[in-house]
Structure 1
Amino acid sequence: MTQQARRLRARLAALGAVGVTALAAAGIQGVAHAAGAPLPVVITGEDRVDLSLHSDNGDPTEPQIDLRLDVPGEEFEGDGEVPPVHLGDYTVRIDASGLKGVAKADLPCDADGLVAVCSGYDLYAGTTFNRLGGIRLDLADDSEAGDTGKIVVTGEGEGLEFTPLTVDVRVGGPELLNRELSMPKDLKAGDAFEPSLGVMNVGGLPAQGTVLRLLGSRGLSFPDSYGNCSSSELNTGDLLRQRTEVLCTFPDTLDAGAAYTLSRQVRVQTADFALNDIFSYSFRPLEPGEEKTLHQGERRRQGSGPDLTLERAGDADPAQYVKYAELDLPKTNTYDLELTGASVSGAAGDTVPVKIGFRNNGPGWIGALRSGGEPFSFTVVPPEGSTFSSTPEQCTPAGVDGSDPGYICWAPTPMLEDARLTFPFELRIDKVVEGARGRVALPDWDNPFDSDASNDVAWIVLNAPDAPGDGGAGGSDGGPSDDPSAPGTGDEGGSDGPDSGTNGTNGTSGGAGGDDAEGGLALTGAQGVGLLGGAAVLALGLGAVVVAYQRRRAGRDGDAAV
């Protein structure tokens, strides 16, 4: 029982019958529900586990089965204590005696040999707060290929109706590994390449049919079409999840210990904007009856032309076959990040708007697929004699004690190849300093993908000597040059808000929100290039800055998934 459950149970006992009635009326539904129909509870977890005779079956400290209870209702997502939907003793029995002579089982809760009993008192809507524990399975000394067994999980409790779970366990079944991929030489964005794909059954039993899955992120596609394949494209919504998928089915048997190759090579096409996009492929056994339904669905497009087939290869080295086969490509493309400053004028006491521009001039997009969309950072320092009176929500103070007038801003990834972002500031002129300028800069980095480092710095110029203004809030955008007198380039179509760029149906990451930023100091940015050097981290106190940014973003966006 959790500490939260103990506190609630003690509270109910103290309240007595009147208190219980009041709490039930207020939304603690367990008492009221128990008086009516039983509350349905589904025991969930993996319903099948295949144990390999050729591997350690994953991390030996990690269970293959995660047991939970699924209770009707909407999961709690607010702050504070989670309200239960049922209060009352219940037990869940895990019977793994069917694995005797088949496999070893490490069971949760109170275990006696191959049988364990878990007890509880409180149940919550959904599955998140109803975890029973994990089951770890390993080979036994007498495990042999073809051995099978079952784990049966049942439950009981007053006012509850449990749906049991049966887990089928098999030893040494078909185990398909994929031929390791080789990086194509001199592959450029816009080119196509033909990887050598193959499969080897290293298991102890034949596979009665197989499924091939080809997967390419946003910058990759598969132009060929085959009669036994179907494809689907996801080209809207979250850029991290946009992809093309191809599924091919092969009904023929794959013998244990044998290797196979495709009858013809499959082409992978890269887009002109592709950069470190992910290509992967995998084979798995075909489930009984799956071939009839696998290619169905509104988004799936059935292929045409001849079938793609598998041909048996000669002697194969199992060391050349892996569980996960994938490549990041192409690696020769570049992008061009550009910062745009501003030139403004005003009198002491005035507040003037300043728009900082951030854009990608392409040709490559910035997927940051491996990092899950970590943001780019840049710093904004006000000119001498001025302070920022208003800043975008994507920016946060650089200092931890208020002594640093600068700000750190985040531009989110993935970022489209033509993304345009605007960060609106308001600058208060405390004292007129002619020609004062503030620096806007990306980190001083060695980024092989940024093709032009000269526009990584821009300036906010305040009251330039040749500015003709009347001391008001007017002025034009400054150019991305080290020379504060250089003519400005403007925002070139960027909107006035910080969310211009790729938001909407074309993706969620074009705005300056950085919804997928994660972690603390390790702002690795797109494609694994460090965004902030150690000296910058120390100078700007980024530990507190990142935490502040994450809290602000979490409060704005909730629990955004990656």
Structure 2
Amino acid sequence: MTEQAQRRPGPLRTLGLVAAVSLVAAGAATGTARAADEPLPVTITGEDRVDLSLGSGNGDPTEPQVDLRLDVPGEEHEGDGDIPAVFNGEYTIRIDATALEGVASVDLPCDVDGLVATCTGGELYAGQQYNRLGGIRLDIDDDSEAGDSGSIEVTGAGEGLEFTPLTVDVLVGGPEFVNRKLSLPEDYRAGETYKAPLGLRNAGDMPAEGAVLRFHGSRGVFFPDSYGNCAYSEVTTGPLLYQGTDVVCVFPDGIAAGAAYTTAEPLKVNTADFALRDIFTYSFTAVAPDEAAGLLAAKDYRRGNGADLALKQVSDADPADYARYAELDLPTTNTYDLELTGASLDAAAGETVTAEIGFRNNGPAWISALRSGGESFSFTVQAPDGATVTKVPQKCREITLPDGGGKGYRCFVSTPLLEDAEFTYPFELRVDRVVENARGRVALPESHDPAESDLENNSAWIVLNGPDGQTDGGTGQNGGGTPSASPSPSSSSGPGQGGTSGSGTGGTSGGGVQGGLASTGAGGTVLIGGAALLALGLGAGATVLLRRRAPRTGGAVA
């Protein structure tokens, strides 16, 4: 069976109610746009080429090299709750690897009979996130020899569906490219240009007919040059995790076995003023000349209009300077400033008032959280003495505060978080009895991230019937309630964690990959694949105010 979408009841975690309804409506519109007699187009996706090494290993033996999914037209669902299907009906996917007999060993998903597997399903969802078939693992065996090749054919069938098949080409002992390692100058700052010395070494047993260079920069990274043998795709909308620039460059000349090459000039990598722990990564792979034209003409990519980027061979390359992956987090020196603001209210016994708790990022940096995949962090709220919380924002839940702090509330903030994000969390309080200068503490967990520039504004107070209306700043000695550490990823994250960029009530400017808030869970050290997800959905219970900066200049030119 295919790995279908998880359907979980409960509140939407990452989209406001309005946004969620809009997505459902958009999905419905997509479904009704097709004529009843037109089949639904479904594209089988996955890696279309696997090169197996005879000597240097083929990665983690438990990890597949091919991740098979079905891509279905429509807006992909983001958030929790029921995921609407765009198709209901039986379909079958056939994975035929018989051409690899004597070439390589194959581990297939679903129901396997020899070198053929069959996957079945009954529902399809928009996009491909929730339409995963499974992974294909390939390894060399005793019969594998340099130059052996074959392919895997993946086809589909189902009434009312039209499948675009996938062919996965496999080559044993062919060209094997490793990439020159990168290192960032210690004094590199946001807004500056890093000149990246890109290079490759063919550690394989055979020459390559040509090479392809792919490089990527996350939202705070852009590339000022426009090379004629490169094509550029810049994503500036949708989930922040996936925003950024992707570039593919083609080099048609042969790459000799055992030889090393470098680009004729360093690649200029610029960062925006808000960049912090953004990701730049690149890799070279082998390509045949007949594949090159198609890469540069790919959908959503624009061809560069400058001179070509060239490769030149180097004779003194040290194999220790090359690795399978080459990437950097840049810059690491920028700062952000999270600030909480409380509220000062006067009320008599029996009255109900609303405390507007404020949260904002004063920048200048965003919190990318790219390497943790957009994990949430949190802050705690305690009601003043004599008052009862009668209504809480959607992104908050009741907890027991540690160290005898009593009942309180934990409120969640999704990442990535924009450099100018600003939210309001309205708590409705009923005054049961009047206590002069009653105070309830609002606090972020203790931060050990050197990128946070001001820790003094990480706590504030809700004050009822106070003498002076002062609510913000300092940890104070009254009001109690020690902030607790943020939840683990399993308790705060899930499908669609984070959101999309944009503005308006019920959305957020935050949502994404390493970095920030080391003690709150918004940081991390493991790179996610691909990757981009954020908008903190506060729903009708919270007001979200977003201020987006003017678009940066100098991005990739096409």
Matching residue's letter, 2:325: Y
- Alignment partner of 2:412 out of 410, 417, 421: 410
Q: Hey, what's the Cα distance between the residues in 2 that align with 1:370 and 1:321?
A: 22
Residue 85 in structure 1 maps to residue 89 in structure 2 = yes
Q: Hey, what's the Cα distance between the residues in 2 that align with 1:115 and 1:143?
A: 16
Q: Hey, what's the Cα distance between the residues in 2 that align with 1:362 and 1:68?
A: 38
Q: Answer with 318-327 or 49-58: which moved more.
A: 49-58
What are the superposed Cα offsets for residues 303-353 of structure 1, whole Å, 9 maximum, x if unpaired? 344322100011423332122211111111111111111111110001111
Q: Hey, what's the Cα distance between the residues in 1 that align with 2:86 and 2:300?
A: 38
Q: Hey, what's the Cα distance between the residues in 1 that align with 2:438 and 2:401?
A: 25
Task: Provide the residue aligned with 1:342 in structure 2.
Answer: 343
Task: Provide the residue aligned with 2:232 in structure 1.
Answer: 231
Q: Hey, what's the Cα distance between the residues in 2 that align with 1:231 and 1:159?
A: 36
Task: Provide the residue aligned with 2:268 in structure 1.
Answer: 267
Q: Hey, what's the Cα distance between the residues in 2 that align with 1:424 and 1:393?
A: 10
Identity %: 55
Task: Provide the residue aligned with 2:518 in structure 1.
Answer: 529
Task: Provide the residue aligned with 2:212 in structure 1.
Answer: 211
Matching residue's letter, 2:459: V
Task: Provide the residue aligned with 1:384 in structure 2.
Answer: 385
Q: Hey, what's the Cα distance between the residues in 2 that align with 1:80 and 1:414?
A: 26
Q: Is the 8 A contact 2:461 2:471 kept in 1?
A: yes
3-state secondary structure, aligned to 1:278 = strand
Matching residue's letter, 1:405: K
Q: Answer with 226-235 or 186-195: which moved more.
A: 226-235
Q: Hey, what's the Cα distance between the residues in 2 that align with 1:158 and 1:367?
A: 43
Q: Hey, what's the Cα distance between the residues in 1 that align with 2:112 and 2:370?
A: 42
Residue 480 in structure 1 maps to residue 473 in structure 2 = yes
Matching residue's letter, 1:85: G
Cα separation, partners in 2 of 1:71 and 1:181, compared to 1, 3 Å: closer
TM (norm. structure 2) is: 0.70
Q: Hey, what's the Cα distance between the residues in 1 that align with 2:289 and 2:454?
A: 55
Q: Hey, what's the Cα distance between the residues in 1 that align with 2:177 and 2:161?
A: 42
What are the superposed Cα offsets for residues 91-144 of structure 1, whole Å, 9 maximum, x if unpaired? 968462x334322234567767x5457597x75447999987654322122422
Matching residue's letter, 2:356: K
Q: Is the 8 A contact 2:353 2:430 kept in 1?
A: yes
Q: Hey, what's the Cα distance between the residues in 1 that align with 2:38 and 2:247?
A: 46
Q: Answer with 152-161 or 171-180: which moved more.
A: 152-161
Matching residue's letter, 2:462: I
Task: Provide the residue aligned with 1:438 in structure 2.
Answer: 440
What are the superposed Cα offsets for residues 158-207 of structure 1, whole Å, 9 maximum, x if unpaired? 99999987543211122221101112221112221212210111222222
Q: Answer with 172-181 or 239-248: which moved more.
A: 239-248
Q: Hey, what's the Cα distance between the residues in 2 that align with 1:60 and 1:201?
A: 22
TM (norm. structure 1) is: 0.70
Task: Provide the residue aligned with 1:369 in structure 2.
Answer: 370
3-state secondary structure, aligned to 1:421 = strand
Cα separation, partners in 2 of 1:59 and 1:434, compared to 1, 3 Å: same
What are the superposed Cα offsets for residues 16-57 of structure 1, whole Å, 9 maximum, x if unpaired? xxxxxxxxxxxxxxxxxxxx9999999876554321223332
Q: Hey, what's the Cα distance between the residues in 2 that align with 1:56 and 1:164?
A: 29
Q: Is the 8 A contact 2:210 2:253 kept in 1?
A: yes
What are the superposed Cα offsets for residues 219-242 of structure 1, whole Å, 9 maximum, x if unpaired? 122122333233332222322222
Q: Hey, what's the Cα distance between the residues in 1 that align with 2:326 and 2:420?
A: 31
Equivalent positions of 1:348-367 (< 5 A) are: 348-367=349-368
Q: Is the 8 A contact 1:206 1:254 kept in 2?
A: yes
Q: Answer with 68-77 or 191-200: which moved more.
A: 68-77
Matching residue's letter, 1:285: A
- Structure ID, larger Rg: 1
Q: Hey, what's the Cα distance between the residues in 1 that align with 2:159 and 2:303?
A: 51
Residue 333 in structure 1 maps to residue 337 in structure 2 = no
3-state secondary structure, aligned to 1:294 = helix
Q: Is the 8 A contact 1:372 1:516 kept in 2?
A: no
Q: Is the 8 A contact 2:401 2:408 kept in 1?
A: no
- Alignment partner of 1:457 out of 456, 459, 476: 459
Task: Provide the residue aligned with 1:189 in structure 2.
Answer: 190
3-state secondary structure, aligned to 2:295 = coil
Structure 1 residue 375, shift from structure 2 partner: 2.4
Specify every segment of 5 or more residues in structure 2 that has no aligned partner in the other structure, as ranges: 5-36, 479-497, 523-536, 542-558
Indicate the RMSD between aligned Cα atoms, in angstroms: 4.5
Q: Is the 8 A contact 2:352 2:430 kept in 1?
A: yes
Structure 1 residue 60, shift from structure 2 partner: 1.6
Specify every segment of 5 or more residues in structure 1 that has no aligned partner in the other structure, as ranges: 5-35, 467-475, 486-502, 518-523, 534-551, 557-562
Q: Answer with 386-395 or 140-149: which moved more.
A: 140-149
Task: Provide the residue aligned with 1:175 in structure 2.
Answer: 176
Task: Provide the residue aligned with 1:24 in structure 2.
Answer: none
Residue 147 in structure 1 maps to residue 151 in structure 2 = no
Task: Provide the residue aligned with 2:24 in structure 1.
Answer: none
Residue 248 in structure 1 maps to residue 252 in structure 2 = no
Q: Hey, what's the Cα distance between the residues in 2 that align with 1:224 and 1:159?
A: 46
Q: Is the 8 A contact 2:501 2:511 kept in 1?
A: no
Q: Is the 8 A contact 1:414 1:509 kept in 2?
A: no
Q: Hey, what's the Cα distance between the residues in 1 that align with 2:279 and 2:504?
A: 18
Q: Hey, what's the Cα distance between the residues in 2 that align with 1:532 and 1:167?
A: 38
What are the superposed Cα offsets for residues 433-475 of structure 1, whole Å, 9 maximum, x if unpaired? 1111111111123221111111111111111135xxxxxxxxx
Matching residue's letter, 2:252: P
Cα separation, partners in 2 of 1:510 and 1:364, compared to 1, 3 Å: farther
3-state secondary structure, aligned to 1:253 = coil
Q: Answer with 348-357 or 226-235: which moved more.
A: 226-235
3-state secondary structure, aligned to 1:194 = strand
Cα separation, partners in 2 of 1:333 and 1:78, compared to 1, 3 Å: closer
- Alignment partner of 1:448 out of 424, 436, 450: 450
Q: Hey, what's the Cα distance between the residues in 2 that align with 1:318 and 1:138?
A: 24
Matching residue's letter, 1:412: S
